């Protein structure tokens, strides 16, 4: 008994009791040399690490010189029933900010992730990386006591460490949805994109004016910093590079980045490169190239040398700028402010990364460069204005009187021009950001996709004519449950020019991010098309709702299954979709179901519509610019705007479904008064959708089916079932009849409580009746009765996405969630059912058994 109490108290001393997620993994670790993977280790000989990082305890171990260093870390934690309930509709996720070098991570003795490779006590492949995110299956975790174990190894001289925090994200165990923020790097990619194009912009300046070499060095600085930001983002791991190779490329880029800034400053303020800058350039080139050909430990040593040299760089660049300030250089003061901010943020990041000071690397350099870019823009603008004033002074001596008369007008025009250039510059940069988002990259033999985009606002910036507006079209391909789908969105953001473009930019970034997550994460590819569209809509709604009603977007989001031509879509206050079939154009919608994305307090359930396409069908989806045509315009500025939405149908029929001809015919009707986007989608497949009325239209010669019908009317279900079995054994049956007989077989199987047979039959015919919600309900019910509750819920939720008010399906879902023990979800759906059908008898029975 005493031994048991001692063991219990010792265990409690090692365990951090946590009653709610997230679970902190930064404290109370036990560490030992070597790899220890036994289930119940004796912690008596282990050392206690009160808090990460691991490096703080490594000096307490004796290491053999030249030998591979191995370490095992172990930590216990508790999971309460509340923790398990919290991830009922989510998943557990483990986050480790940074591990170096080889590692294996175990949860309760089960390997959940690893990286690197050890061969003959030598690290053959490195495994270190930032932000390790691992989804943990719930069956690997226990209610109550759990243990996480990390096995690490590193060569002598290499870093052997587990970080406590990186970029403000600490080590913890949490729900997966909370960890999504770590990989959402929209801000980083937007800044990266901006810096890259700033570099290209100044590179083009140098191409045109070779005498201004400072533009070349500034372009190299911008581009190298953009590349460095790529290697500091999580997206770089999608390239599949070896970690050591990736690190060496990153070091090469970051070593040279300050050099280009030094050369830019030298040339900008002095007009030439001095000898000290040349020596520094040679030294850094030697470090950058030499680190490529050495091992990891030596590469880290070279990094430390470079980090010290950055201090020398800072002194040199400050000396150059301060000297220019003393020499009364008019641009040097503004340049000094930008450089000080840049050096401050860069020094913070370097000190945090090197561990010289106990501060966190917050990756502030990207913002420092943004401030620096703005400062350089001001400096260059002032230089241009000085040249302009010098010209004015020369003219002043010749035509002083004329200048005095026109001086006030000239100043006004100059200010207007400056504002116009600044505005067009903002428009230009925004349009550059929108270009890669507005993509229609679809390669399909089954679906032909064409698009037309015409933004109302046109402008010219530095000789380049461009457009900007709030309309956007995006299309791509994704895979769901092994089937290929074409995904598209046509959006129209509220506002004109820059305001609308901002909304389109947010829409494009969020929608493409959702597509990329689907393409990259296998778990996201197991969703049904209805659920995919519904989750995409809710993600967009969450983002735009945060703008508090100042930014609304109308959209049509859709998926087309390439093999069968089934269209899944929803329309959020966008112009209705047009179908062109057999030379006739018509709307496939007849009512407004959803308000624009971003509307506060949006009521009602999201309904995903289903529409089966036939071979040769053409869909036209477009913004309201297709209807808002200026029919007449009087001399006093009054305009007559078209208000007949069926006018577009007439133009589609007149154009015979041709997109180019359609645009021409719209221009014949009237001029455009708004942004216009048109998406033309034609299905070229030939999948046959069987009519559910086939059996009821059989002729009198089909006496065998008549026999089945008569047996059913007499209540002889088993005999009718056997009759259908015998009918299906015939090879001469018409395909339509065979499919419908299988459907009848599924119905009889449900009556006879042969639920496994019903599941098999319903699954086999569902592709032919993809729009028949009754089959989905029967299939969900059959799965529930055959005890496959996960599939029953999945199919029931799929039907709910199609028809949120389907009473029998809601009843079925309540039963399913009750059986799996998810009473919270069952109560939520039951409450919704009570709002729809409060007098329904089954609802009243469920209400008595489940207290809302």
Give the chain's domains with CATH numbers: 13-179 (2.60.120.260), 186-369 (no CATH), 440-683 (3.60.40.10), 772-852 (1.25.40.10)
Tell me phi and psi for residue 96, to 5 degrees: -115, 120
Length of the chain: 852
CA–CA separation, 238 and 520 (whole Å): 9
pLDDT in tens, 13-56: 344 444 468 888 988 899 998 888 876 667 778 888 888 888 88
d(CA 117, CA 330): 58
In sequence order, the β-bridge partners of residue 117 are 125
Burial (CB < 10 A; 0-12, 13-18, 19+), residue 518, is: buried
Q: What is each CA distance from 220 to 344, 368, 372, in whole angstroms? A: 21, 17, 15
In the structure encoding, which two tokens stand for residue 49, read together? Answer: 């690490």
Rounded Cα gap, residues 15 and 27, in angstroms: 10
E strand or H helix at 633: strand 629-633
What burial class does residue 342 get, using C-beta atoms within 10 Å of its C-beta: 0-12 exposed, 13-18 middle, 19+ buried? buried
Distance separating alpha carbons of residues 642 and 629, to the nearest angstrom: 5
User: Which positions of the chain have pLDDT values less than 70?
Assistant: 1-20, 39-41, 89, 167, 346, 348-367, 373-375, 377-378, 380-388, 390-406, 408-409, 412, 416, 424, 603-604, 634-637, 688-707, 713-715, 851-852
Q: What is the pLDDT of residues 107-160, one digit of tens each?
A: 988 899 998 888 888 888 888 888 888 988 888 888 888 899 999 998 887 888
Which of helix, strand or coil describes residue 676? strand
Helices then strands (H, E): number in the chain? 24, 31
Q: How far is CA 834 from CA 607, 774, 814, 823, in A?
A: 19, 22, 12, 16
Q: Give pLDDT, residue 536.
A: 92
200 touches 219 (CB < 8 A): yes
Contact 657, 681 (CB under 8 A): no
Q: Among residues 429, 386, 431, which one has the least CA distance to residue 675?
A: 431
The tokens for 618 are 């053409």
The answer to whether residues 158 and 300 touch, using CB atoms and an 8 Å cutoff, is: yes
Note the pLDDT of residue 400.
64
pLDDT of residue 404: 65
User: Whole-angstrom Cα distance, residue 239 to residue 225?
Assistant: 19
d(CA 159, CA 300) in angstroms, rounded, equals: 8
Helix (H, G, I), strand (E, B) or coil at 123: strand
Please list the alpha-helical segments (H only) found in 232-290. Answer: 243-270, 275-290
Q: What is the spatial distance between Cα 480 and Cα 527, in angstroms, rounded to a whole number?
A: 6
CA atoms of 782 and 789, how far apart (whole Å): 10
Q: Return the H-helix or E-strand segment holding 705.
A: helix 703-713
- H-helix or E-strand spanning residue 300: helix 296-326
Dig out the tokens for 668 from the structure.
Answer: 């014949």
Position 618 scores a pLDDT of: 93
In 137-271, at which residue ranges do the beta strands (DSSP E only) sit? 144-154, 161-162, 165-166, 169-170, 172-175
Say if residues 107 and 148 touch (Cβ distance below 8 Å). yes
CA distances from 700 to 370, 690, 695, 704, 732 (A): 80, 21, 12, 10, 17
Place of tokens 């294996």: 104
- Report how far residue 801's alpha carbon sits from residue 538's, in angstroms, rounded to the nearest whole number: 12
Query: Peptide bond before 203: cis, by omega within 30 degrees of 0?
Result: no
**Which 8-state DSSP code applies to residue 526?**
G
Distances (CA, A) of 442 to 447, 448, 510: 9, 9, 19
Q: Tell me which H or E stretch contains 471.
A: strand 471-480
């Amino acid at each position: 008994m005493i031994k048991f109490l001692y063991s219990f108290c010792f265990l409690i001393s090692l365990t951090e009791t946590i009653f709610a997620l997230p679970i902190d993994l930064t404290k109370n670790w036990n560490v030992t040399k070597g790899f220890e993977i036994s289930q119940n280790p004796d912690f008596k000989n282990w050392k206690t690490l009160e808090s990460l990082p691991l490096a703080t305890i490594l000096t307490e171990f004796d290491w053999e010189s030249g030998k591979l260093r191995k370490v095992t870390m172990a930590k216990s934690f508790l999971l309460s029933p509340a923790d398990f309930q919290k991830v009922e509709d989510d998943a557990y996720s483990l986050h480790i900010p940074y591990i170096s070098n080889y590692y294996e991570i175990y949860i309760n003795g089960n390997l959940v992730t690893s990286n690197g490779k050890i061969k003959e006590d030598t690290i053959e492949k490195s495994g270190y990386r930032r932000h390790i995110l691992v989804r943990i299956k719930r069956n690997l975790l226990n209610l109550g006591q759990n243990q996480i174990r990390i096995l690490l190894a590193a060569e002598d001289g290499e870093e052997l460490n587990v970080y406590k925090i990186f970029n403000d994200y600490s080590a913890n165990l949490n729900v997966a949805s909370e960890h999504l923020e770590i990989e959402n790097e929209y801000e980083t990619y937007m800044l990266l994109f901006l810096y890259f194009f700033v570099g290209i912009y100044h590179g083009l300046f140098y191409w045109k004016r070779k005498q201004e070499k400072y533009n070349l060095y500034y372009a190299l600085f911008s581009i190298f910093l953009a590349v460095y930001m790529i290697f500091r983002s999580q997206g770089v791991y999608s390239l599949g590079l070896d970690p050591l190779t990736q690190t060496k490329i990153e070091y090469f880029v970051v070593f040279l980045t300050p050099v280009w800034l030094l050369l830019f400053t030298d040339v900008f303020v002095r007009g030439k490169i001095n000898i000290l800058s040349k020596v520094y350039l040679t030294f850094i080139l030697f470090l950058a190239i030499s680190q490529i050909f050495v091992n990891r430990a030596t590469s880290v040593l070279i990094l430390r040398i470079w980090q010290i040299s950055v201090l020398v760089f800072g002194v040199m660049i400050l000396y150059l700028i301060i000297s220019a300030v003393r020499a009364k250089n008019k641009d040097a003061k503004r340049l000094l402010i930008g450089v000080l901010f840049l050096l401050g943020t860069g020094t913070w990041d370097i000190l945090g990364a090197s561990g010289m000071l106990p501060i966190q690397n917050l990756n502030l350099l990207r913002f420092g460069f943004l401030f620096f870019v703005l400062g350089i823009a001001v400096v260059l603008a002032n230089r241009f204005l000085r040249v302009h004033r010098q010209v004015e002074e020369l003219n002043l001596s010749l035509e002083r009187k004329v200048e005095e008369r026109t001086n006030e007008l000239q100043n006004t025009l100059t200010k207007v021009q400056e504002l116009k250039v600044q505005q067009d510059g903002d428009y230009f940069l925004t349009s550059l950001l929108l270009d890669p988002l507005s993509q229609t990259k679809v390669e399909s033999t089954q679906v032909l996709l064409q698009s037309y985009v015409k933004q109302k606002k046109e402008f010219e910036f530095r000789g380049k004519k461009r457009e900007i507006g709030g309309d956007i079209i995006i299309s791509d391909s994704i895979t769901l449950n092994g089937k290929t789908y074409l995904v598209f969105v046509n959006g129209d953001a509220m506002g004109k020019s820059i305001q609308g473009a901002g909304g389109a930019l947010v829409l494009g970034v969020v929608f493409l991010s959702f597509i990329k997550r689907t393409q990259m994460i296998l778990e996201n590819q197991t969703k049904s098309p209805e659920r995919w569209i519904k989750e995409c809509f809710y993600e967009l709604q969450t983002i735009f709702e945060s703008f508090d009603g100042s930014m609304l977007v109308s959209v049509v989001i859709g998926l087309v299954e390439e093999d069968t031509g089934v269209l899944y879509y929803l329309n959020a206050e966008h112009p209705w979709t047009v179908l062109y079939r057999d030379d006739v154009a018509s709307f496939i919608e007849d009512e407004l179901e959803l308000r624009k994305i971003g509307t506060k307090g949006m009521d009602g359930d999201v309904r995903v519509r289903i529409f089966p396409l036939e071979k040769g069908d053409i869909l036209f989806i477009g913004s309201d610019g297709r209807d808002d045509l200026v029919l007449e315009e009087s001399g006093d500025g009054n305009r007559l705007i078209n208000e007949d939405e069926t006018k577009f149908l007439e133009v589609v029929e007149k154009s015979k479904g041709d997109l180019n001809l359609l645009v021409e015919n719209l221009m014949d009707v009237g001029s455009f008064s708004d942004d216009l986007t048109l998406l033309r989608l034609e299905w070229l497949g030939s999948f046959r959708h069987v009519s559910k009325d086939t059996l009821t239209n059989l002729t009198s010669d089909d006496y065998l089916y008549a026999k089945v019908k008569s047996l059913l009317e007499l209540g002889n279900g088993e005999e009718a079932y056997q009759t259908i079995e015998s009918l299906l054994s015939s090879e001469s049956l018409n395909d339509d009849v065979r499919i419908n007989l299988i459907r009848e077989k599924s119905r009889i199987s449900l009556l006879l409580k042969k639920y496994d047979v019903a599941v098999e039959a319903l699954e086999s015919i569902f592709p032919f009746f993809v729009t028949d919600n009754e089959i989905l309900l029967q299939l969900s019910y059959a799965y529930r009765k055959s005890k496959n509750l996960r599939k029953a819920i999945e199919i029931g939720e799929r039907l709910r996405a199609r028809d949120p008010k389907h009473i029998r399906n809601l009843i079925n879902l309540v039963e399913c969630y009750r059986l799996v023990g998810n009473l919270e979800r069952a109560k939520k759906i039951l409450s919704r059912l009570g709002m729809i059908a409060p007098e329904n008898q089954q609802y009243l029975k469920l209400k008595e058994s489940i207290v809302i």
